[in-house]
Chains A and B, each alone.
Chain A
Amino acid sequence: MLLFQGLVGLTEAMYLWLVAAGLSLIFGVMRVLNFAHGSLYMLGAYFSYAVLRAAGGNFWIALLVGPLLVAAVGWLLEFGFLRRVYRIDEAFQLLLTFSFVLIFDDLVKLVFGPVYQSPPTPKELSGAVFVAGSILPAYHLFILGVGAAVGVGLWLLLERTRFGLIVRATAADREMARALGVRSSRLFTWVFIFGAWLAGLGGALSIPVRAISPGMGELIIIEAFVVVVLGGLGSLRGAFLGAVVIGLLHAYGLLYLPVFELALAYVVMAAVLIVRPRGFFGVREA
């Protein structure tokens, strides 16, 4: 039971990880806290759901197309709006992204209706495996695999490619990177698109197992904030570890402290802030 619940928690953590990774990456490079990142996760779920129905229930097409549509929305957000406010106070940048939380929430209600929807698990993954005497849906294992793959993929992308080199250079010292010829405006657009795609992927993966509703974006963005506060904003390692901690806390909290389960994550956040204000892997704030 202990092991089983741990696996369930890790699965939960993977959704959080996908959202927090994009959030942290975008902040690390662009210094913009994207409040609408949870909304992109929500759009990932709704878009994939729409594609799923249009494609006659083919989950794989939905998983491919849905997140790409979210990436397109990300492009629109960065290129159409965020780009205009890079030079002004960061509080207004935050407010700009916040305005999209309100807009996306209501647009989704308007287009898809406020009903909770949940399509069936894809056939290929509808089985179950026995883990430590309990039945674990195969889909959970699939999510764990995707989460791990994204982690490895991100590491390879950032540490082993030229794009990653530019991203790391810009995150470390934007002025210097610019002086060395990095076209930061184009980089910002691509980083934002990529971050949006990650959130969209998380949303797309959630549709067979988690209820789709207009409020799902807000729930996950608040948790993602807790995750990046734990891990250190801008650090991907931190985002991963933070997501795992929060996922496990939820899973074991439900088991042992059901009444306080909701508050547990915040208590841990407060505790970490006292001991280590910048989070696990955060750099000291300027």
Chain B
Amino acid sequence: MNRTALVLSLAGIAVLLVPALFGSFAQYLVLNILLLALFALSFNLLFGTTGLLSFGQAAFYAGGAYVAGLLLRARVPILPAVIIGALAAALMAAVVGAFCVRHTRVYFSMLTLAFGMFVYAIVWKWSDVTGGDDGLIGIPRGRLGLAGPLDPNLGPLSRYYVFAAVLVFASVAILYRLSTSPFGLTLRSIRENAERAEFSGIRVRRTIFIAFVVAGLFAGLAGALLAPLEQTVSPSAAHWTKSAEPVMATLIGGPFAFTGPIVGAVVYLGLKELIVRFTEYWLLVFGLVLLTTVLAFRGGLVGALETLARKAR
């Protein structure tokens, strides 16, 4: 087992100990960090790995959240609702991706933003289904959805916590496996030089398309897991400011290391929790943090730590 996998496993064990040691506020905060970490990791499959900056990932996040929320309100148990939510997001990503992957990087960023706001416009206007301005309210958190009499009730937060954490861990493991696989290397080669990758026999567009759908799937899963946690889904889940969250978390943590978005999610939400106690202008603070990062620390926190460690040796 290499170092990254070891660190991730230890962090996973620590996360699972939280309900035994801390109250519901800590559980709620940690769950939010886990969901953002997953969201940011899925975003970074496109950004850090492939070199494509998407500003529309909230479309898939919201897609997962709304589909899962609607199913839960229709009394579908949690596990199938969450999985179908994620799959619906992947389907959306396939449609949007078909448009976006044909274009170069700058166009890609603009198009993802535009399609993201397209989804926002739909969520906002189609109020018969989405609840419009109010969003989906009164989403129940009940049975898990296993066959047989032992189907656990996830009503208490500490139980839902374990369920969501386990799903996030499994996703992180899959994404990690993916990033070290030949597929991950192919994506990196596209980031470094798409033209050369094409000449060496890689089908660039198809590869990017697959990455886009996978990113949409896990963004959707993060969103789907949010629905039972919050028990409401509001249109802000689809807004571009939501798309900016994984961008900021990834930049803070570092886009070039697998653990970067996870570290970034912890720092981002921790910092936000702190800043909002002092000022409502927390976006200003994150704007300045982002500016500094882009100018001076493009490797993010993890990148800076790696540089430090290398110098110390």
A interface residues (Cβ-Cβ under 8 A, vs B): 27, 31, 33, 81, 84-85, 88-92, 94-96, 98-103, 105-107, 109-110, 218, 222, 225-226, 228-229, 233, 259-260, 262-263, 266-267, 269-270, 273-274, 277, 285-286
The interface size bin for chain B is 35 or more
Q: How far is the CA of A259 from the CA of B128 in the complex (A)?
A: 12
B interface residues (Cβ-Cβ under 8 A, vs A): 47, 51-53, 55, 99, 102-107, 109-111, 113-115, 117-118, 121-122, 124-125, 240, 244, 247, 251, 281, 283-284, 286-288, 290-291, 294-295, 298
Partner of A33, one of B47, B109, B121, B291: B109
Closest chain-A Cβ to B5's Cβ sits at a distance in Å of 28
A263 and B291 contact, CB distance less than 8 A: no
Q: How far is the CA of A58 from the CA of B124 in the complex (A)?
A: 39
Q: Nearest CB to that of B191 among chain A residues?
A: A89
- What residues of B have a CB within 8 angstroms of the CB of A90 in the complex? 105-106
- What residues of B have a CB within 8 angstroms of the CB of A98 in the complex? 55, 244, 247, 290
Q: How far is the CA of A103 from the CA of B117 in the complex (A)?
A: 21
- What residues of B have a CB within 8 angstroms of the CB of A107 in the complex? 284
Q: How far is the CA of A34 from the CA of B240 in the complex (A)?
A: 16
Can you name 14 extra interface pairs (CB under 8 A) apart from A88-B298, A89-B51, A266-B118?
A: A81-B295, A94-B53, A94-B109, A95-B53, A99-B287, A99-B291, A103-B288, A106-B281, A106-B287, A233-B110, A259-B125, A263-B121, A266-B115, A267-B118
B290 and A102 contact, CB distance less than 8 A: yes
Closest chain-A Cβ to B90's Cβ sits at a distance in Å of 19
Partner of B283, one of A102, A222, A285: A102
- What residues of A have a CB within 8 angstroms of the CB of B295 in the complex? 81, 84-85, 96
Q: Nearest CB to that of A262 among chain B residues?
A: B121
Q: Which applies to chain A's interface (DSSP): helix, strand, loop or mixed?
A: helix
- What residues of A have a CB within 8 angstroms of the CB of B102 in the complex? 277
B284 and A27 contact, CB distance less than 8 A: no
Q: How far is the CA of A270 from the CA of B104 in the complex (A)?
A: 16
A260 and B125 contact, CB distance less than 8 A: yes
Question: Known contacts being A109-B281, A266-B115, is A285 close to B107, with CB within 8 Å?
Answer: yes
Closest chain-B Cβ to A105's Cβ sits at a distance in Å of 6
Q: How far is the CA of A84 from the CA of B298 in the complex (A)?
A: 13
Chosen A-B contacts, 21 in total, with CB atoms closer than 8 Å, are A85-B294, A85-B295, A90-B105, A91-B47, A94-B53, A95-B53, A99-B290, A99-B294, A102-B284, A103-B284, A105-B283, A105-B284, A106-B283, A229-B111, A259-B125, A260-B125, A263-B118, A266-B118, A273-B111, A277-B102, A285-B107
Q: How far is the CA of A88 from the CA of B99 in the complex (A)?
A: 26
A92 and B298 contact, CB distance less than 8 A: yes
